[in-house]
């Protein structure tokens, strides 16, 4: 392992975008208005991430638990996502963004699934910012799916159970090709991971911002990056020595 200190800019930021409903309720607006405004915050955050040279940005857009919301809210969210893809794909592609999707995308139906695949293929050669959208994503389901893949491979004899290590397990996750998040941000003041990247965020710094997601923007991201730079990441190793006075 390298003795170099980790860089001060997080390579991978993952965001739990929370508070759209409360943003709308405070304005006596329907929840859909909060989600619509949330899309504007997505746009601002992607632009700001590019400005800061962040290489990976993962956005938790729809959790596997979100299917329990009323059908009309699920429809609104799906519509917004489709609209976002159609209206912004060109701009994202031109800005050097590569799109990745994790989660049970097939649950959104073949039409949206195909559009997601097209967007991924269209941006495949970009690498300025890797934008990962987590859709119908749940970390426990992802871990179970990885365990199933491993079990199948050991059963068929292509994988030796004694050779399974952390890196080998990681390689069976949906995020196999991605670096672990260095920083996880959750908005709206809630302080939970809510089944988001549980394996991958083992050593991530956590920042809880009271801002409701629709109000999130460049200054929030800059503050989080500055706070990250002040953190002392030790990955379980001994504390850094206190600098001499
Ligand atoms: C949480 O707020 C937010 C969501 C469940 C959806 C996030 C989706 C978007 C921002 C729009 C689509 C995304 C992309 C990538 C185009 P909440 O509804 O749980 O808020 P509440 O806790 O205040 O009720």
Residues 100, 12 contacting (CB under 8 angstroms): no
pLDDT at 232: 83
Backbone angles phi, psi at 110, to 5 degrees: -65, -30
For residue 158, how many other CB atoms are within 10 A of its CB? 8
**Which helix (H) or strand (E) element contains residue 80?**
helix 71-94
Rounded Cα gap, residues 48 and 219, in angstroms: 9
Alpha-carbon 11 to chain mean position: 13
Instruction: Using the predicted structure, report yes or no on whether residue 242 has a pLDDT greater than 80.
Output: no
Question: What is the average pLDDT across 17-45?
Answer: 98
Rg of the chain's alpha carbons, rounded to an integer?
19
Q: Kindly report, residue by residue over 121-151, the tens digit of the pLDDT.
A: 999 999 999 999 999 999 999 999 999 999 9
Beta carbon of 22 within 6 Å of any ligand 1 atom:
yes
pLDDT band at 107 (very low <50, low <70, confident <90, very high): very high
CB of 46 sitting under 6 A from ligand 1: no
How far away, in angstroms, is 19 Cα from ligand 1 center? 7
> What CATH class does 12-230 carry?
alpha beta
Ligand 1 center to residue 35 CA distance, Å? 5
Q: What are phi and psi of 200, to 5 degrees?
A: -70, -25
| Closest C-alpha among 35, 112, 43 to residue 69 | 35
pLDDT of 234 reads: 76
Show which residues are catalytic. 18, 66
pLDDT per residue as tens digits for the range 161-173: 999 999 999 999 9
Does residue 25 sit in helix, strand or coil? helix
The protein residue whose alpha carbon is closest to atom 13 in ligand 1 is: 61
Give CA separation, 100 vs 23, 120, 126, 153, in Å.
28, 6, 11, 25
Asked if residue 95 has its Cβ within 6 Å of ligand 1, the reply is no
- What's the pLDDT at 52? 97
Distance CA(36)–CA(55), nearest Å, equals 26
Q: How far is the CA of 165 from the centre of ligand 1 (A)?
A: 35
Q: Whose alpha carbon is nearest atom 3 of ligand 1?
A: 18
Query: What's the gap in Å between 216 CA and the centre of ligand 1?
Result: 12
Whether residue 20 has its Cβ less than 6 Å from ligand 1: yes
For residue 61 and ligand 1, the question of a CB distance below 6 A is answered with yes
For residues 73 and 63, what is the distance between their CA atoms, to the nearest angstrom? Answer: 13
Ligand 1 close to Cβ of residue 187 (< 6 A)? no
Q: Give the pLDDT of residue 244.
A: 46
Ligand 1 centre to CA of 18 (Å) is 6
pLDDT at 239 over 80: no
Determine whether 59 is exposed, middle or buried from the number of CB atoms within 10 Å of its CB (0-12, 13-18, 19+): buried
| 27, two tokens | 């304005």
Q: Which atom of ligand 1 is nearest the CA belonging to 25?
A: 23
Q: What is the pLDDT of residues 188-237, one digit of tens each?
A: 999 999 999 999 999 999 999 999 999 999 999 999 999 999 998 777 77
pLDDT in the model for residue 227 = 97
Furthest C-alpha separation in the chain? 63
């Amino acid at each position: 392992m390298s003795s170099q200190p980790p860089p001060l800019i997080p390579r991978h930021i993952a965001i739990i975008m929370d508070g759209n409903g409360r943003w709308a309720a405070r304005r006596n607006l329907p929840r859909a208005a909060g989600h619509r405004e949330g899309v504007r915050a997505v746009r601002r955050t992607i632009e700001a991430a590019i400005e800061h040279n962040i290489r990976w940005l993962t956005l938790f857009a729809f959790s596997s638990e979100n299917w329990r919301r009323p059908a009309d809210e699920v429809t609104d969210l799906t519509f917004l996502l489709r609209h976002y893809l159609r209206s912004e794909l060109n701009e994202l592609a031109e800005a050097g963004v590569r799109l990745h999707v994790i989660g049970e995308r097939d649950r959104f139906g073949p039409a949206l699934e195909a559009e997601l695949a097209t967007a991924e293929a269209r941006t495949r050669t970009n690498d300025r910012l890797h934008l990962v959208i987590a859709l119908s994503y749940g970390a426990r389901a992802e871990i179970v799916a990885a365990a199933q893949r491993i079990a199948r491979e050991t059963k068929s004899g292509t994988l030796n159970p004694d050779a399974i290590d952390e890196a080998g397990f990681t390689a069976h996750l949906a995020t196999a090709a991605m670096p672990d998040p260095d920083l996880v941000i959750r908005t709206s003041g809630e302080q939970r991971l809510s089944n988001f990247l549980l394996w991958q965020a083992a050593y991530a710094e956590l920042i809880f911002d009271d801002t409701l997601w629709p109000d999130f923007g460049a200054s929030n991201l800059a503050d989080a990056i500055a706070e990250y730079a002040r953190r002392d990441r030790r990955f379980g190793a001994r504390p850094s020595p206190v600098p001499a006075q």
